[in-house]
Amino acid sequence: MSTDKMSVKVNVDLQKERQKCNFNIQEVTFIFDGGKEQTLQRKKIEDIALNSGASIDSIPEECLGLKERYDNAVRKSCIYSRIVKNEILEITGLEALGNPVLRRTADAFFKEISPFMLHLGMFVPTIIGQCTEEQQAKWLPRALEMQIIGAYAQTELGHGTFIRGLETTATYDPETEEFVLHSPTLTSYKWWAGGLGNTANHCIVVAQLYTKGQCHGTHPFIVPIRDMETHEPFPGVKVGDVGVRMGFNTADNGFLSFNHYRIPRENMMMKNAKVLKDGTYVKVARHEKLTYGTMVFVRVTLVKEAAINLAKAATIAVRYSAVRRQSQPKPDAPEPQIIDYPTQQHKLFICIATAHALQITGDWLWRTFKDVLADMRGGNTDSLPELHALSSCLKAISTSDSAAYIEQCRFACGGHGYMLSSNLPLIYSFVTATRTYEGDYTVLLLQTARFLVKAWEQVEAGKSVTPTVSYLTLAATKEKVLWNDFAEGIIRSFQAVAARKISACAETIKRHMKTGICYEDAWQLTTVRLVSAAESHCRSVICQTYWNEITRLTASCSTNVKIVMEQLATLYLIYWALERSGDLLRYSTISEKDLNRLQERYEELLALIRPNAVGLVDAFDFRDEILRSTLGAYDGRVYERLMEEALKSPLNDGPVQASFHKYIKPLTKGKL
Ligand SMILES: CCCCCCCCCCCCCC(=O)SCCNC(=O)CCNC(=O)[C@H](O)C(C)(C)COP(=O)(O)OP(=O)(O)OC[C@H]1O[C@@H](n2cnc3c(N)ncnc32)[C@H](O)[C@@H]1OP(=O)(O)O
Ligand SMILES: Cc1cc2nc3c(=O)[nH]c(=O)nc-3n(C[C@H](O)[C@H](O)[C@H](O)COP(=O)(O)OP(=O)(O)OC[C@H]3O[C@@H](n4cnc5c(N)ncnc54)[C@H](O)[C@@H]3O)c2cc1C
């Protein structure tokens, strides 16, 4: 427990909730963080970064004008990155790039987003993933020392999803041994890159590479865009901010164009392909798509990002629901805490369970990613397609579920959830963007579907497939899978649903092709079902991973921790079985009676989890500085905090605003 939690006077209802909790909170914190070591490391990092008070704003960020907000975000980014550089990276090493502790701690500094986020989030990882050792030796120390600040500019005004359609060109000139960067059209302007508008002095630019008159597709380049002394854009570079957005307004998302702008040949990131001095193009990598490596890395990290943000929202909404009392269902009885309403429990407990499910799946995916990376270092890229398929669907589903449930947490807080000071709108505006960036939801599910259909064709041909799709053999028989409501039975049924949907898609594609249309058109006609099949596959992966891992992780835990963790995981499985009852009726032997029983068990679980609800969110262990919420603080002083924050609004700086004299008075006196 951090010091701020020990000294404050806590709301009485929250105190009672904490007395009711029957499990060891710290053990659950260890599970959520991925182990005791990780918890201790996180706490140490949070102490280093937050105990100085450098993150505190005198005026709420949201009350500042756009420019002041950006200015304040840059100020705090400089403080935070000095702490990261001098102290945090010393503890974590570069593992920090895949560890949510940096983002979690950063939330105490920025209610929105740091304009430096993409520097550590994508610029540095791309240097590591796409540069030769020699290039890394040149760029990495400068980037880690913050001597240069970078952005990642891939998306253009005209294309984001379709990378092969990017229009920016990098044409090699062997006379001067330089690449000439050019933006031939308005739609070729780089657009969206975080940190690019006003902050970055360097940028990774993804451009179509031309040499000896031939195009070799998109490649990444490191491009200096601003003078290191004056920060003026170099001649030939046009750069600016893309304009006000739904969120991310301190993230400095920018546009960028080039007018025949020259960079040295060595600024091409040459780990996967090279251009020699004479202009000869040499492919080094064994796999076509290795230049997409940073995207795969970020997609992997986004799963845990989704979990952490959902855990934050759940903490706010559950604590608030324990403090808030509303309505009078029984005459003469006191108003209940809103968390006592089963409908409120239905809204919130799935959020807690999903945070655990995504965190555990995110950990598992991170380990898989590191294994694949190790294979690739040894020259073996065989497991890359499976990693791409997994990271694509898990990124899509985790960000989409998390955004939906964060919004549900806001609904669960009624009117006060709509206050920016609750922090729920800001968490939502951040997370809803993650559904789009780094690959749109639908597009990524279709990438997974492509892998699944191929895997199904392998199964049909009697060939072996990789472990995450070995369940596809379930579809080989047309029999409905036998329903049983044990966890393993539910998971098996989800797999059967996914398998049957995938096989049905493959059949549909074939059926369309029999009418004489080509494969691509047949694929398009099947995409609604393909997205649904990929979603089912992903749900079965999450359910299986969550269940297997939570069983493993709690094996040595105390009894009550085992019980509450099993209750949450079972709730998760049953919730999705009920949500997908249509699929189960279609592809398993589940009956109406089974569904009724499942519904009853679900409601029983809500009641069983209820006394531990506050304990469960306390176990996420967010410091108040990170939650930044009037509704979710540890002490539950909800109404006092709402009032205190309201009084900080510049609109409360005096009893009469100037607008009264300028406009309202003349209007009411008939003089306007
Ligand atoms: C530490 C500090 C905090 C950190 C916080 C982090 C913050 C981060 C903030 C971030 C802020 C936001 C930052 C940003 O937003 S940065 C911009 C991100 N942009 C995107 O994500 C664009 C999304 N589009 C794509 O990824 C591609 O264009 C897709 C995939 C859609 C198609 O592509 P393409 O048209 O070229 O391919 P194809 O469809 O013909 O398929 C051809 C084959 O290629 C295989 N294939 C495709 N892709 C991959 C892959 N990756 N690895 C391995 N294989 C891959 C594929 O399976 C197929 O295989 P096969 O079927 O033929 O066998
Ligand atoms: C907050 C934010 C930050 C960002 N930061 C960066 C950054 O730092 N660097 C960077 O390079 N980019 C960045 N991006 C851009 C982001 O990566 C793209 O917006 C994203 O990849 C989606 O591409 P798009 O905008 O072209 O959408 P589109 O591809 O135009 O999508 C529009 C719609 O069309 C559908 N669609 C598109 N193609 C297909 C298809 N083949 N099949 C079926 N449906 C399809 C999509 O599902 C979607 O519904 C950022 C975006 C946001 C919102």
Residue 672 or residue 152, greater confidence: 152
Instruction: Evaluate if residue 6 carries a pLDDT over 60.
Output: no
Is 294 annotated in some ligand binding site?
A: no
Instruction: Evaluate if residue 153 carries a pLDDT over 70.
Output: yes
Among all chains, which residue has been given the structure tokens 């049905």? 504
Alpha carbons 121 and 196: distance in angstroms, whole number? 13
Share of the chain above pLDDT 70, in %: 99
Both structure tokens of 316: 């706010």
Global pTM value: 0.97
- Sorting pLDDT into bands at 50, 70 and 90, what band is 478? confident
What average pLDDT does the segment 248-271 reach? 97
Gap from CA of 666 to ligand 2 centroid (Å): 49
pLDDT tens per residue, range 285-294: 777 788 899 9
- pLDDT at site 339: 98
- Sorting pLDDT into bands at 50, 70 and 90, what band is 1? very low
What average pLDDT does the segment 264-274 reach? 97
Is 155 annotated in some ligand binding site?
A: yes
ipTM of the complex: 0.98
- pLDDT at site 7: 56
pLDDT tens per residue, range 19-37: 999 999 999 999 999 999 9
Atom of ligand 1 nearest to the CA of 454: 61
Domain ranges in the chain are 1-110+292-636, 149-284, 638-672
pLDDT tens per residue, range 572-585: 999 999 999 999 99
Residues present in the chain in total: 672
Q: By alpha-carbon position, which residue is closest to atom 24 of ligand 2? A: 160
CA distances from 372 to 287, 384, 439, 500 (A): 13, 7, 21, 29
Sequence-separated (6 or more) residues with CB below 8 Å from residue 356: 31, 32, 307, 546, 550, 565, 568, 569, 572
pLDDT tens per residue, range 509-522: 999 999 999 999 99
What average pLDDT does the segment 597-606 reach? 98
**In this structure, which amino acid lies at residue 89?**
L
Considering only CA atoms, which of 240, 234, 235, 146 is closest in space to residue 189? 240
Indicate which residue of 27, 156, 438, 535 is catalytic.
438
Instruction: Evaluate if residue 570 carries a pLDDT over 60.
Output: yes
- Sorting pLDDT into bands at 50, 70 and 90, what band is 376? confident
Gap from CA of 149 to ligand 1 centroid (Å): 24
- pLDDT at site 474: 75
Pairing of strands 169-173, 202-211: parallel
pLDDT tens per residue, range 519-548: 999 999 999 999 999 999 999 999 999 999
pLDDT tens per residue, range 386-410: 999 999 999 999 999 999 999 999 9
Whether 106 is in the pocket of ligand 1, judged by its Cβ within 6 Å, is no
Among all chains, which residue has been given the structure tokens 């970078």? 150
CATH 2.40.110.10 at 149-284, yes or no: yes
Sequence-separated (6 or more) residues with CB below 8 Å from residue 470: none
Whether 154 is in the pocket of ligand 1, judged by its Cβ within 6 Å, is yes
Question: What integer best gives the mean pLDDT of the chain?
Answer: 95
Query: Which CATH superfamily includes the segment(s) 1-110+292-636?
Result: Butyryl-CoA Dehydrogenase, subunit A, domain 3 (1.20.140.10)
- pLDDT at site 3: 42
Question: Which numbered ligand comes closest to the C-alpha of 523?
Answer: 2
Q: Which residues of 615-642 are buried (b: 16+ CB within 10 A; e: fewer)?
A: bbbbbbbbbbbbbbbbbbbbbbbbeebb
CA distances from 666 to 88, 621, 657, 671 (A): 58, 54, 14, 5
| DSSP tag of 141 | H
- Residue 468 CA, distance from chain mean position: 22
Whether 388 is in the pocket of ligand 1, judged by its Cβ within 6 Å, is yes
Structure-derived torsion over alpha carbons of residues 633, 635, 641, 642, reported in degrees to the nearest 10: 70
Instruction: Evaluate if residue 2 carries a pLDDT over 70.
Output: no
Whether 117 is in the pocket of ligand 1, judged by its Cβ within 6 Å, is yes
Residue 541 or residue 90, greater confidence: 541
